[in-house]
Amino acid sequence: MNRYVPMLAIPLFASAVPAFASNVVPEGWTPVSDEVLSHATGKYAQQNMISGFQLVMQSQWQMPTGASLLATGVLGVNQGQVQTGSSTVVIPGVVNAVAPTTQAVTGTANALVNGVAQITQVAGDANNALNKAIIQYGPGVSLALLVPISNKSTSNSSTTVGNLSASVAISSAGMQLSLNTPNGNLGQSIAGGAGGAMNQIMQVVQVAGNAQQVMNTMQLSLQTSALTSGGLRQLGIQNAMANMVAIRR
């Protein structure tokens, strides 16, 4: 029996909208009327409010053979300064990993996504699988504590040991992490941009085996600049006008 639940961080070296296949129907859905949507409120950050961001992506795999794989990619942008870093680690197990002859997962390598997707394919028993994505406002973490940092806009790392491999690629097109084993594939990517044909955030888990522990984590931290006195006055005027409109209704 497999479990798709939050689990403890896999002890390696570090101490959305789900995509449904065409033949899969969600267990349930609830329509939202236009009347409800018309009263929906929220807050958003305008482009001139964002002074920088930090993206940390990590993919981890622990196998019952004792083998462990880890891929980490980081990207930080603050006031025009760019920092990137990547790291991959593969620890071979006490025995070589062998793919089960009766189980296989295929298909997601050719998936095309315009938006956000978290895809999970698992065959076997006693597996733990997790896709986790977090978007928050805050300073983030110290990138230098995770991986070696450079001021270049690109960063790449890859490690292969036998039939186990881990890779990270960071470029102007985005960031991509990948772990490959005989028991499946694990990966995540951010790609696209202004004018891009496909803008995507994707996390993919493919597992064929037993007692496999896999995890994709992605954290995007947005940093905002302090409001000037003029900006505070403008925000106060906007709030006052919004309250006047609400009173008229």
Q: Taking the model in full, what pTM does it have?
A: 0.69
pLDDT of residue 153: 85
If you average pLDDT over residues 28-38, what whole number do you get?
70
| Domain segments of the chain as ranges | 50-248
**Greater model confidence, 96 or 185:** 185
If you average pLDDT over residues 207-226, what whole number do you get?
90
Helix (H, G, I), strand (E, B) or coil at 31: coil
Tokens of 127: 């597996």
Torsion of Cα atoms, 198 then 17 then 183 then 61, to 10°: 100
pLDDT higher than 60, residue 231: yes
Q: What average pLDDT does this structure show over 115-142? A: 87
- Yes or no: say if 127 and 105 are a contact pair by the CB < 8 Å rule: no
The angle formed by the CA atoms of residues 106, 109 and 113, to the nearest 5 degrees, is 125
- Dist CA 193 CA 201 (whole Å): 11
d(CA 143, CA 132): 19
Q: Which of 124, 131, 136, 135 is nearest to 203 (CA)?
A: 131
Q: Higher-confidence residue: 171 or 98?
A: 171
The closest of 107, 91, 99 to 124, measured between CA atoms, is: 99
pLDDT confidence of 13, banded at 50, 70, 90? very low
| Confidence band for 244, pLDDT divided at 50, 70 and 90 | low
pLDDT band at 81 (very low <50, low <70, confident <90, very high): confident
Q: pLDDT class for 55, splitting at 50, 70, 90?
A: very high
Residue 36, pLDDT score: 72
Between CA 34 and CA 186 the distance in angstroms is: 39
Q: Which residue has the higher pLDDT, 9 or 179?
A: 179
Pick the more confident residue, 160 or 149.
Answer: 160
Averaged pLDDT score across all residues of the chain: 77
In percent, the amount of the chain with pLDDT more than 70 equals 63
- Among 105-114, 145-154, 227-236, the range with the most confident prediction by mean pLDDT is 145-154
Interacting residues of 36 by C-beta distance below 8 A, sequence separation 6+: none
Mean pLDDT calculated for residue range 177-201: 81
